[in-house]
A and B are shown apart, each in its own frame.
Chain A
Amino acid sequence: MSEEKIRVLIAKPGLDGHDRGAKVVARALRDAGMEVIYTGLRQTPEMIVEAALQEDVDVIGLSILSGAHMALVPRIFELLRAEGLDDVIVLVGGIIPDEDVPALLEMGVSAVFGPGTNTADTIAHIRNAVASRSA
């Protein structure tokens, strides 16, 4: 009777208006049996963390194409910690220059997925990360 689903928040912080990538990922995760809360465009870090709290998600997937990731991601982590959501897995997708990736991982991002990523890799990463977290 009891069934657990991986819950994922897909959010687009910042001001760019392109959400095709986010929608493709959302659909792929749904097809992998996950429950995806899709919040739409132009989310502030505050809105994202509030939604993550209310929806009790395991994973936050951030789609960032605006180049503002080095400002947005630290702010989101700061808010997550303030709410006691330290155990939420954070993924970043979109346009992220290679040289920024180590810094993002250092901040606590679990993985960065650029253009052309196979959604199967994203799905596998999420499953592994959720499994090792609850182990």
Chain B
Amino acid sequence: MTRPTAIDWVPDVLAGDRRALARLITRVENRTPDSQAALAALYPHTGRAYLVGITGAPGAGKSSVVNALTRTLRERGQTVGIVAVDPTSPFSGGAVLGDRIRMVDLAGDRGVFIRSMANRGSLGGLAATSGDVARVLDAAGFDVVLIETVGAGQSEVDIARTAYTTVVVDAPGMGDDVQAIKAGILEIADILVVNKADRPGAENTVRALRAMLQLGHRLRTTLHHGELLRADEPPEEPDLDLWQVPIVKTVATDGIGLDKLADAIDRHRAFLIESGHLAERQRAGLEAELAVRLREALLARLVQERTPAAFEDVIGRVLARQLDPGSAVRALLDGST
């Protein structure tokens, strides 16, 4: 049986065929050679979907928020593609992907497409191909693409380069005070969600997050005409460059607060468009993506061009202290080994 080529599925994907979409995504995830031509053919059809990232600590309720938010977006007439990333076991290379457990409400809705992805060893909260998979869903015509990251700690901030609006989900009792101060992940939040807001301690979590917003990197953006403003006091004249990170309380499992979250996403989107930040974000994201791809491609090319013996030789000389690692790299680059 000859294996169909990914490019053959492109017209079907554009026409909304879900089977073709699913199979093409597999090729993209596997980074098969034929997936590159398919991605190239789909690329002109991308840029229409609004990309929203959902991140936060494990157990905060990311999948439940995705589930409930998707229902709200569907009520508002928008179609939704979902990319849900879970970690790959570093020992076996396998993974158990359990995000669908919390998304059973979305079954049977043709306006929703859920794809679980293992991160396949990639750090940063996403798989290396998550951005490409989101693009395929974009080209397939979904209005909104929700990207749910691996349960993230403090450094999994790739999502901010991929999504236009990043939602960070927190919950009561997750070590708020200390975490809020040290957590780099909060700095990427465009919207903060306190999920499980019916639980004791929810107000403490909101307070800790609000304090962090006032203390943290937002100080820079709250400098207004040289004057330091509290982040919860909007300036008298609306400042287009100032986005006030809202804190939205939800009880995702009961469907509470999701209208407010959907509204906050809409407001952030409008802010990004009106302020010109959307174009900036897209540009910065693409720059970062190209840098990563270029690095990978150059390394692959170099490894291909130099013989294994050349690498062995250089490693031997570095081990024998005849060559330092920096000079070894220059020698390999020049081919002067």
Contact = CB atoms under 8 A, between A and B. Distances in A.
Interface of A: 1-5, 7, 26-27, 29-40, 43-44, 46-47, 50-51, 53-56, 83-85, 134
**Chain B interface size range:** 20 to 34
A2 B31 CA distance: 5
B230 interface: no
A3 B104 CA distance: 30
A56 B97 contact: no
B22 interface: yes
Nearest to A51: B100
Contacts of B91: 31
Given A1-B300, A39-B100, 11 more contacts: A2-B33, A5-B30, A29-B94, A30-B94, A30-B95, A35-B94, A35-B118, A37-B97, A38-B98, A53-B19, A55-B115
A3 B100 contact: no
B217 interface: no
Interface stretch (B45-53, B106-114, B151-159, B193-201): B106-114
Contact of A46 (B108, B114, B116): B108
B202 to A, nearest CB: 27
25 contacts: A1-B300, A2-B31, A3-B31, A5-B118, A7-B26, A29-B94, A30-B94, A30-B95, A32-B92, A33-B93, A34-B94, A35-B88, A36-B94, A36-B95, A36-B96, A37-B97, A38-B100, A38-B101, A40-B100, A40-B101, A46-B107, A50-B107, A54-B115, A55-B116, A56-B23
A3 B120 contact: yes
Contacts of B118: 5, 35
Given A2-B30, A47-B108, A55-B115, A84 B19 contact: yes
Interface of B: 1, 3, 18-19, 22-23, 25-26, 30-33, 88-89, 91-98, 100-101, 104, 107-108, 113-116, 118, 120, 300
Contacts of A55: 22, 115-116
Contacts of B104: 39-40, 43, 47
A21 to B, nearest CB: 15
A114 to B, nearest CB: 23
Contact of A33 (B1, B18, B19, B92): B92
B107 A54 contact: no
Nearest to B95: A35
Contact of A31 (B23, B89, B100, B114): B89
A56 B92 contact: no
A85 B20 CA distance: 11
Kindly list the 4 A-B residue pairs having the minimum CB-CB distance in the complex, ordered from nearest.
Answer: A30-B94, A40-B101, A56-B22, A47-B107
Contacts of B94: 5, 29-36
B19 A83 contact: yes
Q: Which among B18, B33, B96, B300 has the highest number of chain A CB atoms within 10 Å?
A: B96
